């Protein structure tokens, strides 16, 4: 007797033969196509959403999918960001002393824009003197001329229902006068400032020159006291750093801006040294601790991406510029200590912060030599380069020892990116960039610049760099 059972076979339904059962199991091809199409569309939408969202939450660190599809961000970025692609954060230091109620009218004691290039991983700080006269929107399509430090106060307490209140008005003021799109703002008062400095354990500042205020006060109803800073390295806690950033009785507002930039730089270095930006969770925890004290419109969800970007930028790639040097006293036509600006010079200073970050990072000393019989050629090109963000102090202008038929760019110290951009601006092929070992470069062995640009007879600035930069 065989103990094994025969394999089980399901009997056909009554009235159906096996062949009928097989025919009944055929699938509808339209249904299969519809399900497949829905799956593909759903996957495509997911890819679109994810690749667009990482632009917002992880700028400069997007997912790279390696293919180009309509509506899908491939994650491939340009070498540098233009001003609209940058992350621009407006910082406002409110002149509201400790002990003054929070909802009390006050003016902004410091105004600066932190700008971050998420592609080149560089950043800059653009400082604006508080007494600079600008056009402030009046909420009715017109403008009023006043100091920039009253804009927040007007939007918050003077105008009725201005969109965004004080932050909205000063953001609009910055965009109108400087053509800088502002993405976010941060507003802090004296106590916030001191707490943040103390949170990182204080900062180290190499005080460059003597500064003092013998009747300094930072809290309501407190007695004035003397503060003094002597040249040399000093560790400062929050209260000491605040005093250093605020005082100006021993010099002027321009020197105060320089001190404020030293404080900003020292704070950034300290935060990075403590790895506060390496861990997204650590950055988020620190932000959560102070977000109720510091007024800002930066969403919590953006903090991990901004923290990662800050860590990638580092403190050595932050270019700090003040437009104080482009301002001058208003004189008898104004009330009080008002400043007017040379707006052409302001644009050159602005370019040092908001233009090509990789050029700023290389900090090349560019020597322009006119090797033609046309006078003023090197000066003309230097003017163009200042508009591209190369500071005047990084430009040397002179005449070549002889006339040359070919323009040439000699990269003497490996400033490859700047040399490449100079060639592009002059419409020169890449083979016109040579190293000091090249035979054509021997005549310029004793030059001073990191890069020497020999403007030969083939230089056509009017149809190359000059027109492209206007």
Q: What are phi and psi of 244, to 5 degrees?
A: -65, -35
Mind listing the pLDDT tens digit for each residue in 440-457?
888 888 899 999 999 999
Q: What is the mean pLDDT of the chain?
A: 83
Burial class, 399, CB count within 10 angstroms (exposed 0-12 / middle 13-18 / buried 19+): middle
Mind listing the pLDDT tens digit for each residue in 134-146?
999 998 889 999 9
- What dihedral angle (degrees, nearest 10) is formed by the CA atoms of 463, 465, 467, 470? 180
Ordered by where they begin, the domains of the chain are 1-77 (no CATH), 87-357 (3.40.630.190), 363-468 (3.30.70.2390)
Give Cα separations from 411 to 396, 400, 420, 434 (angstroms): 15, 16, 10, 6
CA distance 283 to 303: 7
**Number of other residues whose CB lies within 10 A of the CB of residue 186:** 17
Q: What are phi and psi of 392, to 5 degrees?
A: -60, -35
* Ramachandran bin of 159, using left for φ above 0, alpha for ψ from -120 to 50, beta for the remaining angles: beta
The percentage of the chain sitting over the pLDDT mark of 70, rounded to a whole number, equals: 78
The structure tokens listed for 311 are: 């860590």
For β-strands 184-188 and 327-329, DSSP reports them as unpaired
Closest CA to 246 of 133, 95, 111: 95
Contacts 24+ apart (CB under 8 A), 76-82: 77/118, 77/119, 78/119, 79/119, 79/120, 79/358, 80/117, 80/119, 80/120, 80/356, 80/357, 80/358, 81/117, 81/118, 81/119, 81/120, 81/357
The percentage of the chain sitting over the pLDDT mark of 90, rounded to a whole number, equals: 48
Is the distance from CB of 225 to CB of 240 less than 8 angstroms?
no
The structure tokens listed for 355 are: 């233009």
Is the distance from CB of 69 to CB of 45 less than 8 angstroms?
no
Local confidence band at 470 (pLDDT 50, 70, 90 cut-offs): very low
Residue 434 clears pLDDT 60, i.e. is over it? yes
């Amino acid at each position: 007797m065989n103990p094994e059972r025969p394999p089980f076979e399901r009997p056909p339904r009554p009235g159906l033969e096996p062949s009928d059962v097989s025919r009944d199991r055929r699938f509808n091809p339209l249904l299969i196509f519809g399900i497949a199409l829905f799956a593909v569309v759903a996957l495509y939408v997911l890819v679109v959403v994810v690749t667009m969202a990482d632009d917002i939450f992880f700028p400069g660190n997007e997912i790279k999918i390696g293919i180009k599809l309509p509506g899908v961000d491939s994650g491939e970025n340009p070498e540098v960001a233009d001003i609209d692609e940058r992350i621009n954060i407006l910082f406002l230091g409110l002149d509201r002393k400790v002990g003054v109620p929070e909802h009390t009218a006050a003016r902004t004691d410091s105004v600066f824009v932190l700008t971050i290039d998420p592609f080149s991983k560089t950043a800059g700080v653009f400082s604006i003197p508080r007494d600079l006269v600008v056009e402030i929107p009046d909420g009715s399509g017109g403008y009023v001329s006043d100091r920039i430090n009253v804009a927040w106060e007007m939007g918050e307490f003077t105008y009725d229902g201005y969109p965004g209140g004080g932050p909205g008005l000063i953001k609009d003021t910055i965009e109108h006068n400087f053509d800088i799109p502002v993405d976010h703002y941060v507003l802090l008062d004296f106590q916030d400032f001191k707490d943040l400095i103390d949170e990182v354990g204080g900062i180290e500042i190499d005080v460059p020159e003597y500064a003092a205020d013998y009747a300094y006060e930072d809290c309501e109803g407190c007695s004035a006291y003397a503060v003094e800073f002597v040249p040399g390295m000093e560790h400062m806690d929050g209260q000491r750093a605040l005093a250093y950033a605020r005082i100006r009785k021993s010099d002027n507002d321009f020197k105060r801006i320089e001190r404020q930039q030293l404080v900003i730089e020292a704070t950034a270095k300290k935060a990075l040294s403590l790895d506060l930006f390496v861990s997204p969770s650590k950055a988020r925890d620190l932000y959560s601790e102070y977000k109720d004290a510091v007024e800002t419109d930066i969403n919590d969800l953006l903090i991990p991406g901004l923290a990662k970007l800050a860590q990638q930028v580092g403190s050595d790639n932050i270019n700090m510029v003040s437009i104080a040097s482009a301002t001058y006293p208003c004189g008898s036509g104004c009330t009080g200590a008002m400043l007017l600006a040379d707006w052409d010079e302001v644009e050159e200073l602005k370019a040092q912060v908001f233009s090509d970050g990789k050029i700023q990072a290389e900090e090349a000393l560019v020597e322009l030599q006119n090797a033609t019989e046309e006078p003023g050629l090197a000066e003309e090109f230097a003017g163009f380069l200042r508009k591209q963000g190369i500071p005047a102090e990084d430009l040397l202008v002179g005449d070549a020892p002889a006339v040359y038929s070919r323009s040439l760019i000699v990269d003497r110290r490996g400033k490859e990116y700047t040399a490449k951009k100079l060639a592009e601006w002059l419409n020169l092929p890449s083979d016109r960039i040579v190293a000091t070992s090249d035979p054509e470069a021997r005549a310029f062995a004793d030059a001073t610049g990191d890069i020497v640009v020999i403007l030969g007879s083939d230089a056509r600035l009017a149809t190359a760099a000059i027109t492209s930069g206007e």
